Chains A and B, each alone.
Chain A
């Protein structure tokens, strides 16, 4: 009898113990670490908010200055802070010209290279070409700037004549930006092309299509969303590129669409002005933030569009 009660009590205590153990024990260290790690995760959101708040705040100060007018900012065509004229267009047009030249260079080259790497190249050739393009992507932009100024510009001046091409010109900067973003466009497009299932290609071959017809009429359309996304990311990169234009495209805002002439882009202007002696709380200082905000909004929009295109138009294969 005594034994059975003994067992009963013992059973009761162990099950009590079990129940206690099943509820999660509070561990201080664990909670502290979890909080810390959550903070790390949240920092990226803090950074984005900081960008928006800081640029927005300074830009707001800029626009609330009585000398400045938001409508004039977007409608007048002269940027000369010395005489208090702030029309953004000269900076925008030059940015558009360099980016347009860049994407015109990078788009065909990047797409063709991607098709070659994904559809034609053998594993060995691919293993040789891809790292080389990766090296091209890893070259610092200041080195590209040097290249544009000391190699591409003299080259262009020899072809088109010294009278037409200025020492600093948008064409040279645009071409070199194009070379810079080409590896990015290539690798993103190639990823999209490689993701197209093999069955689609086999199907095309089975219908008697040649390799070229398969690539152009089957694989490229199937990977179209990825390719478009690559182009948009390329444009966004070209917009924000700074050192190449700062070195090779010249100083001084100028409203022109002539690629042979010198004109300062948005990023180039920020770098030149902030590199000099800049006093805080001056109109010059605040104007840079207004330009940076515009640049941020444009590139962010392009990035969001690119992500949307990928998610929305992606072909789903099982």
Chain B
């Protein structure tokens, strides 16, 4: 048979055969490595893309020449001098209104300077360039701007500033901020955890301590697995039908005497979000409770403790780090989730801070979505700045979860 010879090669042929097998091994190893690197490359591209838009040159045009207002450049003036400029150039009503919004004494110098630019100089952004262009093609850009718009100035601008974090939404991108969105996100997440954490831990305790291996256990466990795979938008529809519409009296605060609201409130949104993150909390809390050694329980029973005393005094305290880590992961999911919020009716343009659970709200991802959807380039810039704020927030939370996990996992039973 002719195949028999190729089946068992000899001498130089054998060596060539083995070499070729090893060569293929090397080739595929590089392919596998490449595939892993593509994921990392994508992450790098994503971050580059965001940073590229969040910083860069902008073309600004001042409607009123700053030289006519002050002899020295505005940046060099003290805060008091800037306030004086405001007083001199604004109507009394407008000046007092700014004071009632936030007293001048409590404003920072940068903030007052920004107000001067916005209200007195009436500086407008005419165009913006990406960071890469700003660094590599600066001369060309300067030429271009000088030709097209001789009155305009070219300045380097970071779209992400302390002002950006502390000013509310505005219709012009250069003066818009994410204050309302940030507060909305924080309120939303805190309320969400208030609902989801007790129920999630309770469910985990039930699954591991009370219902082990029964029929109900299997049913609930499969069910939680399936719930974790339900698309977030379906939760949004559920929230819309149940919390926003059916329970409008509760979520709008009508039952409690609040009249100026409909069901599209922080309360409905956080209840919807609580349903969404419940499976994550349950699964993580269950793992944490499972890791508490059985001897702890036996010891407590041996001393005559009841089941609940055992759970409350021994199981839960020892499972706490794991439960916390899982909760932080659930929070980061809740912070980044957008679709259900759109469906339950987050507002995209809102300038007042949320003051109760019955107020209308916006959240950081909602703001990013609405800014990304606009055609003007400047809105892309502030969307990028808001994304950096969101990612920093998430990264901090995840890092703290990892630190917490490492700190407590060293303890071994």
Contacts and interface: CB of A to CB of B under 8 A. Distances in A.
Interface of A: 27, 29-30, 33-34, 36-45, 47-48, 50-51, 54-55, 58, 108-113, 115-117, 119-120, 129, 132-133, 135-136, 138-147, 149-151, 179, 182-183, 186, 210-213, 216, 233, 236-237, 239-243, 246-247, 267, 270-271, 274-275, 280, 288-289, 292, 295-296, 299-300, 302-304, 307
A176 to B, nearest CB: 9
Contacts of B201: 40
Contacts of A117: 36
Nearest to A112: B35
Contacts of A212: 21, 24-25, 28-29
B301 interface: no
Interface string B15-39: 0000001101100110111111011
The 8 closest A-B pairs by CB, nearest first: A240-B231, A140-B336, A40-B202, A112-B35, A41-B206, A116-B32, A242-B339, A212-B25
Contact of B336 (A113, A120, A142): A142
Contacts of B241: 54-55, 58, 289
Contacts of B234: 51, 55, 240, 292, 295-296, 299
B306 A146 contact: no
Given A115-B32, A116-B32, A141-B336, A146 B45 contact: no
A258 B238 CA distance: 33
B34 to A, nearest CB: 8
Given A243-B338, A274-B345, 18 more contacts: A36-B202, A37-B206, A41-B210, A41-B211, A43-B203, A55-B241, A112-B36, A119-B32, A133-B40, A142-B365, A145-B372, A146-B49, A146-B368, A147-B45, A240-B232, A242-B232, A288-B237, A299-B234
B233 A44 contact: no
Contacts, number: 257
A179 B36 CA distance: 11
A140 B365 contact: yes
Contacts of A147: 45-46, 49-50
Contact of B394 (A140, A183, A274, A296): A140
Nearest to A183: B39
A103 to B, nearest CB: 15
B1 interface: no
Contact of B225 (A109, A110, A142, A307): A307
Contacts of B211: 41
A41 B202 contact: yes
Contact-residue size bin, chain B (C-beta under 8 Å from the other chain): 35 or more
Chain B interface main SS type: helix
A119 B29 CA distance: 10
A140 B368 CA distance: 11
B38 A40 contact: no
A58 B394 CA distance: 36
Interface string B199-231: 111110111001100001001101111110111
A242 B202 CA distance: 31
Contact of A34 (B42, B238, B308): B308
A112 B28 CA distance: 9
B39 A142 contact: no
Contact of A146 (B223, B372, B394): B372
A242 B233 contact: yes
Contacts of A150: 49, 53, 372, 380
Contacts of A42: 220
14 contacts: A37-B210, A47-B278, A51-B230, A51-B234, A116-B29, A135-B43, A140-B335, A142-B368, A146-B372, A147-B50, A149-B372, A247-B369, A274-B237, A300-B230
Interface stretch (B97-105, B152-160, B171-179, B384-392): B384-392
B390 A143 contact: yes
B326 interface: no
B261 interface: no
Interface in B175-202: 198-202
B343 A270 contact: yes
A55 B308 contact: no
A141 B229 contact: no
Contacts of B339: 141, 242-243, 246, 267, 271
A113 B42 CA distance: 14
B275 interface: yes
Nearest to B205: A37
A202 B294 CA distance: 36
Contacts of B222: 307
Contacts of A38: 206, 210
A109 B231 contact: no
